[in-house]
């Protein structure tokens, strides 16, 4: 895989941005910047040089991060919907113990990280 990348010359962030502006043929570069649901401005391109303008001492690539969904008094439908939409971890709060089997039906715990917080579940 390393040999593949050796075939390409290194480009600076300015060179990439100049190429984008050139390819836009007069259209606005600003139209390519969009805002995420978390109110984060997302540029059209990032490279290792881009990380220097980020705040903080270090920028890490976390391939082991989970997308956790927190649910209070969850239903089975809510849990499965979250998992089918991309959640890879669950924080389940106050699951009714009388309905535990139904609430957790078809949840494949072997593939996800799961945490349960409940005042009604007692560990003996």
- Residues 107 and 79: beta-carbon distance below 8 Å: yes
Q: Which of 111, 122, 116 is nearest to 72 (CA)?
A: 116
CA angle 81, 82, 85 (to 5 degrees): 85
For the stretch 65-101, pLDDT in tens is: 788 899 999 999 999 999 998 888 999 998 877 888 9
**For the ranges 59-63, 71-75, 115-119, the one whose mean pLDDT is highest:** 71-75
Q: How far is CA 96 from the centre of its chain?
A: 29
Mean pLDDT over all residues of the chain?
82
Q: How confident is the model at residue 63 (pLDDT cuts 50, 70, 90)?
A: low
Report residue 50's pLDDT band, with 50, 70 and 90 as the boundaries. confident
pLDDT at 64 exceeding the cut of 60:
yes
Res. 3 pLDDT band, cuts 50 70 90: low
Question: How many other CB atoms sit within 10 Å of the CB of residue 103?
Answer: 20
Sequence ranges of the domains in the chain: 8-53, 68-117
Q: What is the arithmetic mean of pLDDT over 112-116? A: 89
Give the pLDDT score at 71: 92
Give the pairing type, strands 41-42 and 34-35.
Answer: antiparallel
- Alpha carbon distance, N-terminus to C-terminus of the chain: 53
H helical segments located in the chain:
2-6, 13-24, 76-84, 100-103
């Amino acid at each position: 895989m390393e040999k593949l990348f050796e075939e390409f010359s290194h480009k600076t962030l300015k060179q990439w941005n100049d190429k984008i502006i050139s390819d836009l043929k007069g259209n606005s570069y600003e139209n390519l910047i969009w805002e995420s649901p978390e109110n984060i401005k997302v540029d059209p391109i990032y490279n290792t040089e881009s990380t220097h303008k980020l705040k903080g001492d270090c920028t890490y690539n976390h391939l082991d991060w989970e997308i956790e969904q927190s649910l209070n008094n969850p239903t089975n439908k809510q849990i499965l919907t979250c998992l089918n939409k991309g959640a890879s971890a669950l924080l389940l709060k106050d699951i009714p113990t009388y309905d535990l089997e139904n609430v957790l039906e078809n949840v494949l715990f072997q593939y996800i990280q799961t945490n349960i917080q409940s005042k009604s579940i007692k560990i003996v």
